[in-house]
Amino acid sequence: MGGATTADLDASSLPIQFVSGRPGAQSPAFELPVYGQDAWDQIMAQLRAMRGLPDDWDGLGAQAPLGEIVDSAVEWARYLRTQGQAPPSSVMAGPNGTIVFNWQDESGYLDAEITKPHYVEWMRMVPGRPTCHGAFEYGTSLGGR
């Protein structure tokens, strides 16, 4: 898939270019059987599974993601997949009702969090460089819907 590493990314490329993922990586909260699925299929299955999370799904008071957050995460994941981007290393529900995508490799990591419908807050960390933060909105015209 030839994605860039986190060291190659700059803030202007974040909605389009992501780091190479670790195929088959799974979120600790959503261990699903593989059954021949590719990494993006696994990510999509994990996102769908988040629809069934109750409040306090972690036993520590975590909020379940609202349907609109899950829908937005699925839409964004479909867009990234259609653009040929590497799947994230993991995807997980955040404790405050968000959904977090994480790309990680030897050069650093990138977290992208769906905090409200069609809105991503991101953080990129590359050893030896300043940590970068940002946010962007995306419309429903991403495709895949």
pTM equals 0.73
H or E element, residue 105: strand 99-105
pLDDT, tens digit only, all 145 positions of the chain: 344 444 443 333 433 333 333 333 333 333 334 444 589 999 999 999 999 999 999 999 999 999 999 999 999 999 999 989 999 999 999 999 999 999 998 889 999 999 999 999 999 999 999 999 999 998 765 544 3
